[in-house]
Structure 1
Amino acid sequence: MRASHNQHLIHEVLQWNGVIARRAHLDLSQTIGRMLRAGELVALLPGVYTWARWAGDPTVRLLAVAAWSPDAVVCRLAAARLTFWPEVDHGELDLAVSDRRCSAKGFRLHRRRLPPEHIVGWPLLGEDAATDGRGIVPITGPALTAVDLCAELGGEPIDRVLRSRQARLADLRGALECTAHRSGNRDRRRVLVESRAEPWSAAERKGHRLLFEAGIGGWFANFEVAVGGKTYYLDIAFPHLKLAVEIDGRFHEDDPDQFQSDRERQNAVQLAGWFVLRFTWYDLVDRPKVVIAQIRAALARCRKLAGIR
Structure 2
Amino acid sequence: MAAAQHGQVNVWQAADIGITHDHLRRAVRAGELQRVRPAVYRFAAVPVDWRTELHADTLSAPKGAFAAQSAALRLHRIEHPLLPYRRELLKLGTGLVHVDDAVVVHRTRRLDPQDVREVNGIPATSLARTLVDLCRGLAWWDLVDVADRAICEWPSARATVHRTAVRLRRGRHGVQQLADVTAPNAEAVFRSWLERQAAPLVRRAGITDARWNVTIPGLAGAGLVDTHSSAHGLVVEWKGLAFHRRPHQLQRDSDKQNVAASRGLVTLSFTWQDVVSRPEHVIGVLVTATRRRAA
TM-score band (shorter)? Answer: 0.5 to 0.7
Query: Match for 2:268: what amino acid?
Result: L
* SS of 1:161 mapped into structure 2: helix
| Distance of 1:111 and 1:282 partners within structure 2 | 36
Deviation, 1:104, is: 1.2
The alignment status of 1:98 with 2:93, answered yes or no, reads yes
In structure 2, the CA distance between the partners of 1:99 and 1:239, relative to structure 1 (3 Å rule), is farther
Return the alpha-carbon distance in structure 2 between the equivalents of residues 169 and 291 of structure 1.
34
* SS of aligned partner of 1:26: coil
Equivalent residue number for residue 80 of structure 1:
73
Q: What's the counterpart of residue 212 of structure 1?
A: 196
CA contact (8 A) 1:162 1:198 kept: no
Question: Which residue, 14, 17, 25 being the options, matches 1:33?
Answer: 25
Structure 1 portions without partners, runs of 5+ = 1-11, 125-135, 200-204, 220-237, 249-263, 298-309
Aligned equivalent of 1:175, options 161, 164, 171:
164
1:100/1:109 contact within 8 Å kept? no
C-alpha contact 2:117 2:126 (8 A) present in aligned 1: yes
Q: Indicate yes or no: 2:279 matched with 1:285.
A: yes
Call closer, same or farther: CA 1:55–1:179 in 2, change over 3 Å.
farther
Distance 2:4 2:90 in 1: 25
Q: TM-score, normalised by structure 2?
A: 0.57
Q: Flag the 1:149–1:49 CA change in 2: closer, same or farther, 3 A.
A: same
CA–CA distance in structure 2, aligned partners of residues 137 and 72 of structure 1: 10
User: Structure 2: which 5+ residue stretches go unaligned?
Assistant: 201-210, 215-219, 227-236, 241-250, 291-295
2:73·2:79 contact (CA, 8 Å) conserved in 1? yes
Tell me the CA shift for residue 286 of structure 1: 0.2
For normalisation by structure 1, the TM-score amounts to: 0.54
Amino acid at match of 1:278: S
- How many positions carry a matched residue from both structures? 231
- In the other structure, the counterpart of 2:7 is 18
Q: Which amino acid is the alignment partner of residue 94 of structure 1?
A: L
The one-letter code matched in structure 2 to 1:100 is G
Report percent identity of matched pairs. 18
Residue identity opposite 2:22 in structure 1: Q
Work out the CA distance in 2 between the residues paired with 1:159 and 1:268.
Answer: 24
Q: Give the corresponding residue for 1:111.
A: 107
Residue from 117, 121, 132 that aligns with 2:118: 121
Does residue 144 of the first structure (1) align with residue 129 of the second (2)? yes
Measure the CA separation in 1 of the matches of 2:160 and 2:286. Answer: 31
Q: What is the root-mean-square deviation in Å for CA atoms of aligned residues?
A: 4.8
